[in-house]
Structure 1
């Protein structure tokens, strides 16, 4: 059993919110986490899997059934299968408002489950559970293997690489195509597969929707719709640009990333660490990996941006902590990195509170002007928490 970092936050929110929703892709351990919680709450729990016909049948008269179990914390798994329950849950919570009434598990973001954000506002807390982060598995494997395989439990824990990538290939076909369609969205399988393959090869690049549309032979609105669905399904992330009050022309389009590095490598047909190190996607893959690991550690309360001028000066990742601190991050695959003039120019533009060059696993040491070279592990488990606490 690999402990998940979010469990403390889930338990804390259950002491205050009537409804806590754990959202994330399939196969990341939402059900395991919810069942683990069952023995740790102050009230008994009732677990219902809405993909099982027997459990779904119990909710044919959902109002009567749920009103008979008001003393329990009801866990509803795969809630996106029954979005019509949201208004009922709101009414039941309003009749008896107390913490830990319901735990909802879903494989889609609240943007895709339209009714949830509208019906349950003020009553629900959303917590994102993604594949294993590096700090969660650092005692169960190497960073190289975590980067290569990604963090989906079945992929990361597979005994052989061939099984890892067979699982990831199956995930693309079954989860992305079937589950998005199950929400009522009509998709073209061939177009979606081609789009994913294209995203893998432009990973970490500035998004150009018109180029994607032209290559796919579809309209720009169609490409944007597909990107919205992929982002809402936790597959991709569009990193927005940071706009500052500087007298320079700035790039205004987002950068595009596949969130799980294993999924990226499967789509790019990179199935070994040696192949990865010599593959054209390696630098972009490492950049995306660092950004995603940072997201998994700090959560959704931090703001994520990149900064780039029209002249090419750039900060790979600009973080803004909940306390307002700005952190500028240059991401380098080399353990002996050189710093570009453009990074220093961007630092002068932004004037961040902290500046780092994040490397894989070398020694951490200071450079001039408050800039630190820092390995990823130390950055995630020491530096970021310290910045937030200050």
Structure 2
């Protein structure tokens, strides 16, 4: 049961506090009362700040609920409408826009969202860091009633914007600077905090550990921690490469460790759920060939590999960056 005093404190703070400064992102989403707009992406890709960007046009008519805020942790899906009523009491108006951040932390969130959508009163936006959890719940309760978008870390053009580097009417010196920045972008990636802060290596290590322990091991209650660690490290090192399940199984057999093929597939699925790793099928007209291994690995951000990479391979980094640019389109 939600604590009303904590909720009032949260709502009052949201109403009084101006939105923080943000770098405008290139992702464009639709606005409709008939469908929920779902935004997924890896941890720390900037989903919260993207919601700020969307609500900046009409904050006085918006309600933002961050389900990672401790004051909202006791809220149940049945109490969301009561929470909206409390907002109306405090602000004097009912919100037109609802922004639900990290919604997978609200148990049975899809039931609450479906009920709100049925009222036709709100335009609803939700974010999450778990593609499988969101897609599973959408499939059961919100099938055909959502539009899903993926927000990745900064593209190179967004990276240049964040660093106030001009991209129009370039001199030779400007071109040289952009080439230098491209190499840094490939090496450290485009996570907003990494781009804007100085301690890039430490921040990337923190992101990597959070993805491993919070988004993979804890979220899915995995018991074989060493297998989860190995797989994430293996994928981060072998980006822009084809990999096979047999290669992984043979490595563990050589180390005297045994586990079933189904266990391996299950752990790979959990890692893919973080939206930090993408597995691309081979092109073929035959569905069996498309869906079978080997698959090619790409990272949601080249900086992820920095934590476990032992050498610089500009060709592979560039290939990964091109894949991400195509994915954005």
- Normalising by structure 2, we get a TM-score of 0.74
Report the RMSD for the aligned CA atoms in angstroms.
2.6
* Pairs within 5 Å for 1:1-390: 1-6=22-27, 9-10=28-29, 13-41=30-58, 44-59=61-76, 61-65=78-82, 68=85, 71-94=95-118, 96-97=119-120, 100=123, 102-110=124-132, 114-139=136-161, 140=163, 142-159=181-198, 163-216=199-252, 217=257, 218-244=259-285, 253-270=294-311, 276=312, 281-296=313-328, 298=329
| Deviation, structure 1 residue 75 | 1.6
SS at match of 2:220: coil
Distance 1:112 1:185 in 2: 17
Report the alpha carbon displacement of residue 253 of structure 1 after superposing the two structures with TM.
3.1
> Cα offset for 1:133?
0.7
Distance in 2, Cα, partners of 1:236 & 1:209: 16
Are 1:43 and 1:73, in contact at CA under 8 Å, matched by a contact in 2?
no
- Counterpart CA distance in 1 for 2:47 and 2:231 is 28
Distance 1:151 1:63, change over 3 A: closer
Displacement after TM superposition at 1:93 (Å):
1.7
Q: Which has the higher helix share?
A: 2
Return the structure number with greater strand share: 1
Q: Given that residues 41 and 152 in structure 2 are in contact (C-alpha distance below 8 angstroms), is that contact kept between their aligned partners in structure 1?
A: yes
Contact 2:40 2:151 in 1 (8 A): yes
The count of residues paired between Structure 1 and Structure 2 equals: 274
The verdict on how the C-alpha distance between 1:98 and 1:284 changes in structure 2, with shifts beyond 3 A counting, is: same
Unmatched runs of 5 consecutive residues or more in structure 1: 246-250, 271-275, 299-390
Q: Distance in 2 between matches of 1:207 and 1:111?
A: 26
- Partners of 1:23 and 1:200 lie apart in 2 by 20
Range moving further from structure 2, 64-73 or 190-199: 64-73
Cα-to-partner distance string for 1:169-199 (whole Å, 9 max, x where unaligned): 1111123321234433425332222222222
Unaligned runs of 5+ in 2: 1-21, 89-93, 166-180, 287-291
